[in-house]
Structures are given as C-alpha cells and as structure tokens.
A and B are shown apart, each in its own frame.
Chain A
C-alpha cells in the first residue's frame, strides 16, 4: 500500500477531490490507523476504547442519582410553570418527591437511590456530571444532540467521529458497533448511529446480539447454493487477481488499492467475527455475573458481555442501548415512576456493575472508558399524579475508567432538580471531554461540509477538567 506514487498527504488530497469527500482519510485510516501522523491526535491519549451505555427515554435523575430533599418538603405543591413548557407532553403537575429511598454510598458519599443497589457499590470509581443539560425537551432532537451534538439528522455521531479520527484498533472487526435493545431501535432509528457526511465505513455497525449471523452479510445466505463457504478462498483469490490486473492497468489510483485491501480485511473479519460475537464461549460464572441467566437482566447483560468481548478484541467504540423508542419498556416514564422505573433499573443495574468489575478483572480498565448517559432528565413536577415529563433542564451522566478522577462529581442541579445550578455541562462539553481522553482536541477534529468546518462540538465545548485524573 505504501508503494503508491503519491505521498500520503497528496494522496489524501487527491482522493478528497476525486471522491468528492473524505475518501483519502478513510483510506489512510483503514490501512494505517496512524491518527497522530494524520494530525488528528493532538496529545497522548488516556483512553483507547469506549463503551457507552445509553438509557433511552430520559432516565429520571431525581429518582436515581440526584437526591433532592427539597422535593420531600414541597411534595404536592403546585409550584411548576403555569404554561406547558416547549417539548413537555402535558402541563406541569404538583411537585413530586421520589418514591424511592436514597442513601449515601462509598467514601465519596454519593447519594444513590434504592433503584441502583449494585452501581451504588462502585460510586467511588465513577465521576459524575451532575448538571448535564440539553437544548430540547423532545426525544428525537434530544437523542440526536447527545449522540451527534446537533438537534437535527444528518450529522455524524460520536462513535463515527471517533472511528473517523482514530480508525480501529483491530483490522478484523468493525470499529464502531451498536448493540440496540432486543425490543427495537431507539428514537431516530439508525439516525443515532449515522456517519452523517463522513464516509459510510464510520457508521455504527448494528448488531442484533441474538441473531445467528451477527455482522450483516458476513456470509452468503444458504439459499444460494453456488455461494458456498468452501469456495470463498478460491473466489476471493480470483477476485483479487482480477482487481490487481485492473489496478495495474490504472496506475495512480489508490482507490483501487483500497478496494483490494477491503476484501482482504473482509476475509479476516469472516474468520474473527463469529468467535468475537459468540458470548457462549465465556465461562458460566461470567455469563451469570452479567445476569444472562436471569430473565430481567438477560438481554442487557448479554449485550454488556458482548461489548466487553468486542473491545477486548480491538473494537474502538461500542454503544449499548437500554430500551427501544416508544411509550413502554424504556426510561420515558410519563405514567408512573413507581411502576415504570423499577423494571428498567433492575434490567441494567447488575449487568453494569458486572461490566465494570469484569473490565477491571481483564485488565481493560487501564485504557477503557465507560459512559452511562441518557438524552435528558425528567421534571420534578408530576405528570398526571405519578409520572414525570421530559426535562432538558438537568440530568446526570457518569464516566468510569481510564483518565477519570474517581469518586468526584461536577456541577449540581437546583434544589428541585429542575434546572442546573452550577457547573452546567452541555453535550458539547461532554463530547469535548471524551475526545480529550482519546487524545483529540475537539476544536481540531473538523470536516468541511457545505461551507462549514463541522465539529462534533459545533462551535462550543470545554473539556470538563474537574473530572479528569
């Protein structure tokens, strides 16, 4: 590959122009993954790989991590906005205290509700962003915002930007894998994992963890008798010959080299993916720890374990979703917090704790970052009498692992948990911080698109140094 007539830089420019886009960068990453040389990595990274856990629907802060005694005092009083705020689905009801018990945990004394007994044991290892805030109270734009930094479709999500910037660690697996809830895709469908205007290779590869063929089109369907696995070696060899002969007649075109290489990598993926995606290869006690033997935790647990296996084998970024879009089975608890939140909390709590412990046990914690987040918070006012409505005002995210100062919390919400009070953190700051941990200056990771040098962080973003080790 290095024998190309053009220097890497001019090759990149050349490809940019011919391909009308970013082919050059895609190509150089596919082959070399030399982000520092490409000028994208700006300082020494603390983190190499990331698992993001995304709670679809807007996980309620004041019922999980954001203890609000003031709500107990004011419970039942009509103190909310008189007019229905934009993006809420109903007028604000009375102030509602959390129906769950809160206790302080660990050396750090973090408050955690009875919903997360297992995560509560690990709070001293986590860093909390207690005053995350969003520009919207609507799921679609809110979920876009937390993933791509924009309220609209068409922009690359964080996983795609990272794949674009750093490429993969291994060359036999996709760089960005998405593990959606077995019950369905999140809001915005695949829009949340889109590469937007980045090359298609950087989009999230969506894996149905329970499907027999994990990576789409990894092998030919058995419907086609002629496309036998046994002929693959001979077939790919002949194809390689055809394509090399064609490339030889068309010198100076590194896209042809990239195409040849792509089939070599595809063959490697065919060899590695089935093993990587098969969680049944893990010992019993591991599967049990992740909750795979319990109906409540089975699906999320399987996907957490799969995430571990994938990053262990060199996938750069894995996103695990809890809950599909829609009115049920997710964190969008409009009707009744007391009945709707506990099953969601129970389905993720033990698997998350197992994931963190396992990453440590496997030695992956040294360069792995785990992120727990959601698209926005919920109102301190009741919706109806028992539920909570959307609230972009304030919500909680935690980070764990490499480069993180353990046991700290940054920012706080107001006494009701309605808005932020201190240390307001937008998705821009959150994304800037994650990129920083990967060694990337978020202001320098840009791609020109229709007249604008686009960034994951738009024109905003400050690294939240308070939570960094």
Chain B
C-alpha cells in the first residue's frame, strides 16, 4: 500500500498572529510560568499523544502555536488570553467542563497532576507567553494538482495524435518507448471488449486481420481501424456497455438496500435513459444537467424525466425513514452528495461531514451547503408522460381541475373554456326522471327496526320514506328488495333525508346526525334464476361529500372506507350510483340493494328512500346543492358566483373525463418533493410530500443531536472562480437548487468536471486512469504521472469535442498508445514495473458483466432485445419481512430473457448474484468507480460449476455441432469462437482426444474457464 500522506491543513486559512497579540500581557511577566521549561513539558506528557506532531485528533495540535490557540475543527479559540475560565483547553483539562474532559476519561495514558493544571491556569491568565522560536509550523501541503488552473498544455511532440506525444514524452524521459502495435487478432478483441463489451465473430476477426495486413500493399490498415471504431461506436451495443460503467459509478441498483431491501420495479427507465443518452452521444454538459435537474431545465420535455433516476440511484433506508427521521434525512442526503461529488467532480466531499476535510480544502460549511442542495427531495417513484402531447394534455386538464377545485374564476370563466361550460349546461337541461323503487322487503342485519310505513316526510320528499328506529346498533346492513315499472335502468339513487326526529335533524342516526355508508351493493334477482347476479357500477356521485369520505368510497370494495356528510348534517342529501351497463328488467325481476354501514358508533342512515332511472348515464350524476340552485336560476339572472359554481362543476367533469381517457402515465424511481415510496414486496407504497425544502443545519461533529447554523445551498469554496453559495430566486423551489449545482458542475470553468470525465473514460480503456483514483482527485488520491495529458484532454474534450464522449473514445482508441501490444518487456519492467507510464497496454480480465456477455455470445444464446423491465435471474418468493427471498441457484437458463445482456439483469443491492460477485461485481451499497480483481478457489468453483457456465457450455457445444460435421472441425470451431484463433496442432489433437472421451460440451466448459478467454490482451 502507498504511504499515506497525512498532511494537516488549516481551515480557514486565517492565521492567528500569536506573537503580536500575546506580548500585550502586561504586569505578569515575573509570575508567568515559563513556556519551554514549565508549560511545554506538561503538554508533551499529557496531550501530544493525540494532539501533537503525529496525531491531531479533531484537527487540534498543541505543538503548533497558531493551532493551539485558534482551536481545531471546532473553530472556537482553545486558549483565550488572560482568561483561563473561558479557555476550553483549561476547562477540559481541569474538569470544569460538564461534557468534555481531557485527556478523555477512557484514556489509559498519563493524566496531569493538580500542580500541572495550576501551572496551565497561571500560564493562560498571564498571557500566555509562547516564544516565536517555539511557535512550530503547520507543514505546507503540496499544491493539489486537480485544483490548479486548467490550461491546455502545448503538445510535446510531432505525433499526429496528441495522446501519443504526451505519453512518449514521459516515456523517453525514462529511456522508454511505446511497444509495437498489437497483433490484429488481439486488437480487434480488445476494442470490441472495450467499446461494446461483446466479442467479434471469427469471420469479423479474419476479415480484419486481412485488412490490417501491412505486407499486402493493397491493405489500408489505418482506414480499416478507423472504420471498425466507427462501426462499434455507432452500434447500440456501445451504450449498453458504457452504461454499466456509469451505473457502477453512481451505485444504481433495482432495490433499496438496508434492512427493508424492497425492489424498485420502476428503476429501469433510468438505465434505459443512460443507454440511449450514450448512444445518442449526448454532450457531457447536457448529460449532467439532465440527470440533476431535467425538470427544471427542460420543463417541456417530459420524456427526459427518467434522467432524474440519477437522484434515486443510491440506497434508501426504509426502516430509518419510518422510525428515525432525523438521522434518515441526513444520511439520505449524504448519499446524494457523495454520489454527485464523486461521480462528476471526483471529490470526496463526504469526508467533511464531521469535520473539515482532513486533506482537501473542503469545509463543513461546504459539505452542508451541498446537503442543502438536495433538501426537499425524497427518493421514490414519480409519474411522467413519455409522450409530449399527452404531457401537454395532462398539464392542461390538471390545471383546469385544480382551478375547478379552487373555484378560480379567472380560469373557470375564461373565454377558452366557455364552450365546454355551455355544452355542459345544455346537457343538464333534461333533468333525469327518477322513479321510486317499489319496496317489497326491508331487512336490518342489526337489531334496528326498519319501518316500511311512510314516516313524517319533509316537504321535499314526495315519496315514501323509510326510517331506522328502535335500538341503534353500532353497525348495520340494510337490505332492500324492490321492483320498478321501468323496463331498463341505468342508475340507482339513494336519498338520505333530514328529519326532525333524528339527532341534529339527521339524516344519520349518529349523535351529530352523520352517517357512513361503507359499501353500496346491488343484485338482480330474476324470477327464474337460482342465483342473484351482482351488478357492476361505473361510478358514483353525491351532492355532498365529507372531506376524505367521498362517495367513491362506498364502491371501492373496502369495508373500512365509507361515504359521509359531515359537517352538512341537518339537510337531505343524495347519491347516484351509475351502472356499468344498462340493465334490462324482465317481468318479475327484482333488485336487492345492500347498504353496508360498518364504521361503527351508530353512523347509520336514519331516513332514506331509493329511486331508479333509465335516462342516459351522462345525465344522471348528482350535482352539488349549490350547482343545482345555480342551474335553476334563469341564465340571464345568474350572479358571477353562480356562474363560477356552474363552470366549476362543468369543467371538473370535463377534466375528469379527459384525464381518464389519457394513456396511463409512466413511472420512474427517482427523487422529488412528492413521491410514492415502494414499501413492501407485493407493490405496497407510501406517499410522501414535502411542501418546501427543510432548512439544513451544520451538524457539530456530524452528530444529529448537535445542529448548528442553517446552511444555504452551495458547493465547494475551493473553486474560486465559481460561486460557492447559490443565489436563489425562490429558495422554496428545490429544483432551482439542483439546477444551480448542475450549472456549477457543468460550467466550462469547473476544472474538476472536465478532468474527471476524461480520466474516467481513460480508466476504462486502459484498466486504470491517468489518475488511478477516478473518483478522488484529492490529496488521498493518486498523483497522476501525466497530469499534462489529463489537462490537454480535458480542455480538448470541453472545447473541441464539445463534450462528445464518442469523439473522446475515437481519439483514445486510434492512438498508438492504445493500440500498442500488451506484451511483457523485462527491460522496461525494471524501469517502470507497474506500467505507470504506459510503455505497454495493460492486460485486463473481463469484468463480470462482460464475461457473461462474451459467454452468451459464443454459446449462441445472446438475446439482443433492448430496454424494459429488468430480467430477474432468480427465484423470488416472499421473505420474512418486506424484503423478498431470492434464490439464484434455481433459475432456469433456458427461460425467456436468460440470454439478455448483463446490463438488463435485475440487480438486488443486498442479495447479490453469487456468480457475478465471484467475478468481482461490486457491492452497490457504495459507489464503485473501479472494479476489483480477485482470484480464489470459490471463484474457480463458480466458473467451473455454476449452472450459467454449464448451460452456456452445453449450448456452445450444440451450436458448434450444428456448424461443423466432424468432431475435429467442431473442436477447431469452438476454439476459434472462444479464442479467435485456430488451435495449434498439439492443441487440436489434445482437445479432440479430450472431447472424444468427455464430450464436446466438457471441452467448451474448459474454454469458458480458460484465461485466454477471461483475459483481453
């Protein structure tokens, strides 16, 4: 491991000029303890262990005067001259502080004596004096390469491709040079693996080898190479390959992680977005802006909404969300901050959560400013319309609906809506004709008495009224059987009637006059039919709905929800239930209606009757009382209030109908102020909305119970030429915050952004970045051997390539550096053993996904279907709690979707696929900017015995058997498919003998286990 470079850095950079201030101590000169003789030994003995030259806990050290006085991470002066009582140092050491004691009580080291403590007191109260020659010095840190101004360096040589010039320059300084170009067979496999993650076919390989044959004067190798590169970059397979890199970098997965590792059925649209963004070669600035704030920047392009899946890529602790909301908010925002700063600007901002970053110029304020960017967001499903026309329609009708609900006259009475309103009014002119139901039988399931004799009806009830009298049960179901003279009916109407005999005038029997109708059911009994037929309703309306207790609740099939009329008691009301289909009533047919009232506490209907109609269903709906009254007034005499009431009813219905007709919205798992959170296996959701971003407070030492000042949104102060804090037009609009951060990241002057992305791309082409830590350009990261090349590429990518990744790929893979051989060279290895300077290309093992895709390609089972929900390559069953149980070993590798590319696999964060894990697929609980390499017995067993490999071996053999007649030829063909070369004579014989005894599939299994297959030269 590298030696760590722990260099303490002081934040902020203000230096306390100790000597000048300290000499102001008058009159105590004689009595003051001597620093070097008396004081320093005490500090040395008791404090230096944790706050000295080797260690600076909490950023505090007592061997450097400036820090000793000024304080560490707390940023409160540790020593207040002349005032030991106000000096934390003295308070902690003397035990005068209630919370903190120094050395800590748990420390087993030396403790100061009472006498020593007294010396410290006297020293502080007398000045304190600390001579300049013992002031000590904070080591000056070397300048951090990535924070240097980004200037395009001159290309240091004549190579046509500047990459070659930069690499050669460093190599020749060490008397090294580039290796010769790799053989064409290796080259084509390398560039296929890199750019599309699939192997070339033997035929493609042969044609390419021929085209690259420099001994043939007709060949044009440069053309052949650049044609091949163009073909690969324009293949849709390119986006599939490179999307995986980005998804690793931002720890995207299809489940929450943590205790309740619930699936995110709608995460995949983001994966598809990334694939198509890469295939379209979306400029990098645009890619940044879309992922962070597509909703803000491109409000009229709803099809970009899946880009916001970026915000929801990371983990979600559902359990903490429910039970520990304070901690949850901070850790969830931390996840978004860490992801964004690592992925886009290669900065470990999260290190400043508890204290100023120990190595990089990032303050705690910066960190919490970044948290404030993401305040007001919560991860979950959001809806969107992929079709812009549908989006506009939905927007229009949703705003009309809102206006109708708010009775917003400016919208309701606007000329453009006038025709909708007048049409509606004309439809209302023919008021539905209702016929009373001829009641034959009334039953109470409780012990109430339902009286069929007419009661004392109010004036408005011309028909019979039925009363519930006698004892009042808690709950009841009334069953009413009756007939009608109408031959056809379209709707049933329930009148609940006010009556002086009922509590508060009714119409309910509850003490306050309310009622709750839990379910309304109707059945048709045809005289000769044995079984009553249950009728279906298309909807229900009522003249009044209690808030949250709408009439639809009487049709929702849930006994626990109901219709209510509070606070409009003391008045009659009615509800209309529209049948899904017109119903013919044959001679002798009867209707049986159940009024289920299961709410309890006597919320029962007190007086009621029922009616039916055969009028068209669109005319029968119940209208609010006020609308009825307004319609009754002659058109010319209606007040504006009445016009508004009518228009609201008209447009409410029009909007409701129009919205119902729109195609269903699409859904993506992202983050927004208002979301649906997947909460359990089986499609349960919780809704969550935040009205505005909550204030984010800096946490002292990162502890949730020690909130300090509110931090405004912003980013890093270290990038001087960009705003560190974001001016906001509307601080309540959380999207504006994300947009401000996106602008900060995507700004041409953000020196980190451009360096970060070119290095990241380089990393995937060479197995390692020019800076070896692609998500950390800080002091703890790698110092690049060729920072000039990073800078040149960064500026070129930003200014000339205009952020086109495909141009960057093309520049890299057409360089001689990329195309050189990976062969070992002992002399070069002696000078540059780990190939930092790139005197050869690096051999790389296929990563888990590419291995899988390569295996599918050679077995002939590769399924190139693109996009859509992920393929679940496991058996999924209910787990003990919200998390399902997944069993990967039972997956049938012949089932549909088994051959899809790895990018379309369902990735469950906490229950990883053991096969992929064995090949170093990362734990996506954390960001994974690089893939690891391991070799172990468990990996060997997996590659050798896992059903996936065995199935592909079998298919591989079958495919080869189909292609070639003799075993010998089959062996040749299998080797060519796997290794892209013809077997040597000895191999041919040995492999054929083996296949003869053990079967061709057994040989294919070995080919899929061979290093020649697993490694790319």
Residues of A at the B interface (CB closer than 8 Å) are: 5-6, 10, 13-23, 26-27, 30, 86-89, 136-141, 143, 151-155, 171, 174, 183-185, 187-191, 194-197, 199-201, 203, 205, 215-221, 223-224, 226-228, 231, 234-236, 238-239, 241-243, 246-247, 250-253, 255-256, 258-259, 261-263, 265-266, 268-270, 324-329, 390, 424, 446-453, 462, 465
Are A189 and B883 CB-contacts (below 8 A) given A218-B941, A226-B953? yes
For B845, the chain A residues whose CB sits under 8 A away are: 255
A203 x B824 contact (CB < 8 A): no
A14 x B833 contact (CB < 8 A): yes
Tell me the minimal C-beta distance from B890 to chain A in angstroms.
Answer: 11
Tell me the minimal C-beta distance from B49 to chain A in angstroms.
Answer: 12
B932 x A22 contact (CB < 8 A): yes
Residues of B760-803 whose CB lies within 8 A of A? 767-768, 772-773, 775-776, 778, 780-781
Contact of B880 among A21, A184, A390, A451 (CB under 8 A): A184
Closest to A232 in B: B944
Q: Which 8 A-B pairs have the closest CB atoms?
A: A153-B925, A154-B926, A140-B259, A19-B933, A154-B925, A326-B880, A201-B936, A451-B348
Report the Cα distance A141→B331, complex, angstroms: 11
Tell me the minimal C-beta distance from A361 to chain B in angstroms.
Answer: 31
Residues of B574-613 whose CB lies within 8 A of A? none
Stretch at the interface among B117-125, B390-398, B734-742, B913-921: B913-921
Report the Cα distance A262→B937, complex, angstroms: 5
B674 within 8 A of A: no
Tell me the minimal C-beta distance from A413 to chain B in angstroms.
Answer: 16
Stretch at the interface among B531-539, B564-572, B806-814, B1003-1011: B1003-1011
A6 x B824 contact (CB < 8 A): no
Contacts A/B (CB < 8 Å), 23 sampled: A19-B933, A26-B934, A86-B324, A140-B258, A143-B259, A153-B925, A185-B879, A199-B934, A219-B945, A227-B1005, A234-B994, A239-B1010, A253-B843, A259-B935, A259-B1014, A266-B938, A268-B937, A269-B941, A325-B883, A328-B880, A390-B323, A448-B4, A451-B351
For B261, the chain A residues whose CB sits under 8 A away are: 188-189
Are A266 and B941 CB-contacts (below 8 A) given A20-B767, A140-B317? yes
B912 within 8 A of A: yes
Residues of B791-843 whose CB lies within 8 A of A? 823-824, 826, 829, 833-836, 842-843
Residues 6-48 of chain B, each 1 if its beta carbon lies under 8 Å from chain A, else 0: 0000000000000000000000000000000000000000000
Contact of B1011 among A138, A219, A247, A451 (CB under 8 A): A247
B2 within 8 A of A: yes
Contact of B781 among A250, A255, A451 (CB under 8 A): A451
B331 x A13 contact (CB < 8 A): no
A258 x B935 contact (CB < 8 A): yes
A199 x B323 contact (CB < 8 A): no
Residues 932-956 of chain B, each 1 if its beta carbon lies under 8 Å from chain A, else 0: 1111111111101111001101100
Report the Cα distance A311→B359, complex, angstroms: 42
Report the Cα distance A1→B555, complex, angstroms: 75
Q: Is the interface of B mostly helix, strand, loop or mixed?
A: loop
A30, A140, A183, A451: residue with the most chain B Cβ atoms closer than 10 Å? A451
Are A140 and B319 CB-contacts (below 8 A) given A227-B1005, A452-B348? yes
Tell me the minimal C-beta distance from A378 to chain B in angstroms.
Answer: 14
Closest to A425 in B: B106
A465 x B932 contact (CB < 8 A): no
Closest to B997 in A: A234
For A449, the chain B residues whose CB sits under 8 A away are: 926
For A446, the chain B residues whose CB sits under 8 A away are: 1, 4
Are A239 and B926 CB-contacts (below 8 A) given A200-B939, A252-B826, A450-B775? no
For B704, the chain A residues whose CB sits under 8 A away are: 86
Are A196 and B923 CB-contacts (below 8 A) given A252-B829, A450-B348? yes
A188 x B258 contact (CB < 8 A): yes
A200 x B936 contact (CB < 8 A): yes
Sample of 12 more A-B contacts, CB < 8 Å, known A87-B324, A137-B324, A266-B940: A5-B829, A17-B835, A141-B317, A153-B910, A199-B933, A220-B945, A238-B990, A247-B1011, A253-B843, A258-B935, A263-B944, A269-B937
For A6, the chain B residues whose CB sits under 8 A away are: 829, 833
Are A238 and B1006 CB-contacts (below 8 A) given A5-B829, A17-B772, A224-B954? yes
For A242, the chain B residues whose CB sits under 8 A away are: 1006, 1010-1012
For B325, the chain A residues whose CB sits under 8 A away are: 86
Report the Cα distance A242→B1003, complex, angstroms: 11
B148 within 8 A of A: no
Closest to B921 in A: A200
Are A187 and B935 CB-contacts (below 8 A) given A151-B331, A197-B926, A446-B1? no
Tell me the minimal C-beta distance from B314 to chain A in angstroms.
Answer: 10
Tell me the minimal C-beta distance from B1013 to chain A in angstroms.
Answer: 9
B108 within 8 A of A: yes
For A139, the chain B residues whose CB sits under 8 A away are: 259, 319
Closest to A173 in B: B937
Closest to A329 in B: B880
Are A15 and B917 CB-contacts (below 8 A) given A140-B320, A154-B923, A201-B939? no
Residues 977-1017 of chain B, each 1 if its beta carbon lies under 8 Å from chain A, else 0: 00000000000001100100111011001100111101101
Are A227 and B259 CB-contacts (below 8 A) given A266-B937, A453-B4? no
Report the Cα distance A196→B928, complex, angstroms: 10
For A15, the chain B residues whose CB sits under 8 A away are: 933
B315 within 8 A of A: yes
B909 within 8 A of A: yes
B162 within 8 A of A: no
B317 x A216 contact (CB < 8 A): no
Report the Cα distance A253→B704, complex, angstroms: 49
A462 x B772 contact (CB < 8 A): no
B889 within 8 A of A: yes
Residues of B at the A interface (CB closer than 8 Å) are: 1-2, 4, 106, 108, 251, 257-261, 315, 317, 319-320, 323-327, 331, 342, 348, 351, 359-360, 704, 767-768, 772-773, 775-776, 778, 780-781, 823-824, 826, 829, 833-836, 842-845, 879-881, 883, 885, 889, 909-912, 914, 917-920, 922-927, 929-942, 944-947, 950-951, 953-954, 957, 990-991, 994, 997-999, 1001-1002, 1005-1006, 1009-1012, 1014-1015, 1017
B260, B845, B944: residue with the most chain A Cβ atoms closer than 10 Å? B944
Closest to A257 in B: B935
For B950, the chain A residues whose CB sits under 8 A away are: 220-221, 223-224, 227
Tell me the minimal C-beta distance from B837 to chain A in angstroms.
Answer: 12
Report the Cα distance A255→B911, complex, angstroms: 28
Contact of B842 among A18, A155, A451 (CB under 8 A): A18
A226 x B999 contact (CB < 8 A): yes
For A263, the chain B residues whose CB sits under 8 A away are: 937, 940, 944, 1009
B1011 x A243 contact (CB < 8 A): yes
For B778, the chain A residues whose CB sits under 8 A away are: 451
Report the Cα distance A234→B1006, complex, angstroms: 11
A235 x B1006 contact (CB < 8 A): yes
Report the Cα distance A303→B963, complex, angstroms: 51
Closest to A213 in B: B889
Are A196 and B925 CB-contacts (below 8 A) given A217-B946, A258-B935? yes
Report the Cα distance A179→B881, complex, angstroms: 20
Report the Cα distance A23→B932, complex, angstroms: 7
Report the Cα distance A447→B342, complex, angstroms: 18
A23 x B933 contact (CB < 8 A): yes
Tell me the minimal C-beta distance from A459 to chain B in angstroms.
Answer: 8
Report the Cα distance A88→B792, complex, angstroms: 55
Report the Cα distance A398→B775, complex, angstroms: 41
A250 x B824 contact (CB < 8 A): yes
Report the Cα distance A242→B979, complex, angstroms: 12
Contact of A18 among B767, B775, B938, B954 (CB under 8 A): B767
B843 x A453 contact (CB < 8 A): no
B1010 x A243 contact (CB < 8 A): yes
A153 x B926 contact (CB < 8 A): yes
B834 x A13 contact (CB < 8 A): yes
Tell me the minimal C-beta distance from A119 to chain B in angstroms.
Answer: 26
